Chain A
């Protein structure tokens, strides 16, 4: 029999997070700080709206691009929160989570050989999606000393004649880093000068703790070369509803819609009706959840200070990224040893790219109680490591 598989697919590495959690899940009494989704349930008024839509028989497909009410609300939201205006009919598309939007945006923009600049550590999908779209990933290794922000010099160093797209994953998973208006200005200047497009993944835009998120699309000259990716999962605790969206130039959105209509048809209808309510009436919920994450973030930063474990202060998402290089172990060795000794599961930084070596991703989408318990255990573990050396 012939080999039934595509070599391109076979060559893609499976996610590093998976490997670790398969191991962790085989054991009992583990405290996991590994999950990358909110610990809150979707606010009830949003769920109720989904139920109501089902009762009313809203069980059919929506248009390919998504419910027009929802797209209108999204445009209002981006204008209100982030100061960018989009045309409802031509510059928006509703997708199955932010992840689908990333995939179809890259497929719509890349030809074989086009280079995509990916700053790492970052979410694990950009690289495989680039490869699946025929593009070539070019990795920038972000640095702890820059608080894991992307600098203009780093970007310049990665450019070539083939560079087409820059992925801008801020607020960042796994580091929690953010980019402020000045940082973005420097990046925007290069993108305009070198005629590069930006895929700005803003899924954590509502979760920032030092002032509001700034989108690069709001910088003059950038809206026409930026695809903004966002969604409902993180801001409204709606991961299971699988609902995201992309905003951008009509030319690109039209081609994304083409792929979407053949591969997906439309995003789930129930989720879209619920999301209308989320984006219209969810500000108060977002505020409450943000305040709660911020308390946990401060708690963790303080716990690391008391352990003398270096960790730059992250102001976005719900992750901290402590530095464990003093222990002379790889991230993976450290994570396995911690799991063995104290039954606490954290994700090795290398799951998000080689530049995550020497770091751990700790999620604070967990109750303060759970965080307290696990920090006590990590403190004991670190003390033992230090005593041994």
Chain B
């Protein structure tokens, strides 16, 4: 039941308990209980809204930063990552296999904001060996949603 509920709300977090219950063929109370349980167990970590900020006047700049680090003895990558992801302007941090170690997703209002974070904060940390910053020029698809898609019904009238 949990997986069905999660699949249903993954693409639409505006949870209407009754609708979830009806569509999945389970009772409203069960849906409410499961949601509450999954929230407290940290399975559901938040209900977010996917926004195409390009269509709003307020500008946002996004960057992906590759970070190579020296892991700290006895503490591995986790503590290094923590020092970085605690900054609120960091949106996501992943430990990555391959040519570098951490991938950091950043959001800022201006180019300067991001670049100053990189050269003032990030690259001056004693365990950071190098950084490479990639600015996002255009988002085509985010969270499985194609931005700017028309979403029209292409089906024509035909019989039978």
Contact = CB atoms under 8 A, between A and B. Distances in A.
Interface of A: 15, 17-18, 21-22, 24-25, 35-37, 39, 123-125, 291, 295-296, 298-299, 302, 368
A21 B159 contact: yes
B29 interface: no
B159 A15 contact: yes
Contacts of A18: 159-160
B157 interface: yes
Given A39-B153, A291-B7, A295-B8, A17 B159 contact: yes
B46 interface: no
Describe A's contact surface by its main secondary structure.
helix
B45 interface: no
A163 to B, nearest CB: 25
* Size class of the B contact interface (CB-based, 8 Å): 10 to 19
Contact of B19 (A17, A25, A299): A299
B155 interface: yes
Contact of A39 (B4, B8, B155, B159): B155
A36 B22 CA distance: 24
B152 to A, nearest CB: 11
B160 A17 contact: yes
Contacts of A299: 19, 22-23
Interface string B10-31: 0000000001001111000000
Nearest to B22: A302
Nearest to B25: A298
Contacts of A125: 160
Contacts of B153: 39
18 contacts: A15-B159, A15-B160, A17-B159, A18-B160, A24-B157, A35-B157, A36-B160, A124-B160, A291-B4, A291-B7, A295-B23, A298-B22, A298-B23, A298-B25, A299-B19, A299-B22, A299-B23, A368-B19
A17 B160 CA distance: 7
Nearest to B23: A295
Closest 7 interchain pairs by CB? Answer: A295-B23, A124-B160, A18-B159, A15-B159, A302-B22, A17-B159, A15-B160
Nearest to A291: B7
Nearest to B24: A295
Given A15-B160, A299-B22, 11 more contacts: A15-B159, A18-B159, A37-B155, A39-B155, A124-B159, A291-B4, A291-B7, A298-B22, A299-B19, A299-B23, A368-B19
B19 A298 contact: no
A349 B157 CA distance: 18
Nearest to A368: B23
A299 B153 CA distance: 21
Question: Which interface residue of B8, B155, B160 has the most chain A CB atoms within 10 A?
Answer: B160
Interface string B126-160: 00000000000000000000000000010101011
A24 B7 CA distance: 36
Contacts of B160: 15, 17-18, 36, 123-125
B103 to A, nearest CB: 26
B22 A35 contact: no
A25 B155 contact: no
Nearest to B20: A295
A81 to B, nearest CB: 23
A368 B8 CA distance: 12
A17 B24 CA distance: 32
B109 to A, nearest CB: 34
A124 B23 CA distance: 30
A283 to B, nearest CB: 16
A194 B74 CA distance: 82
A298 B159 contact: no
Contacts of B157: 21-22, 24-25, 35
B90 to A, nearest CB: 32
A124 B24 CA distance: 32
Contacts of A295: 8, 23-24
B3 to A, nearest CB: 11
Contacts of B7: 291
B23 A35 contact: no
A36 B160 CA distance: 8
A123 B159 CA distance: 11
Nearest to B26: A298
Contacts of A35: 155, 157
Contacts of B4: 291
A123 B157 CA distance: 16
A252 B98 CA distance: 59
A367 to B, nearest CB: 9
B5 to A, nearest CB: 12
Nearest to A22: B157
A124 B158 CA distance: 13
Contacts of A123: 160
Contacts of A22: 157
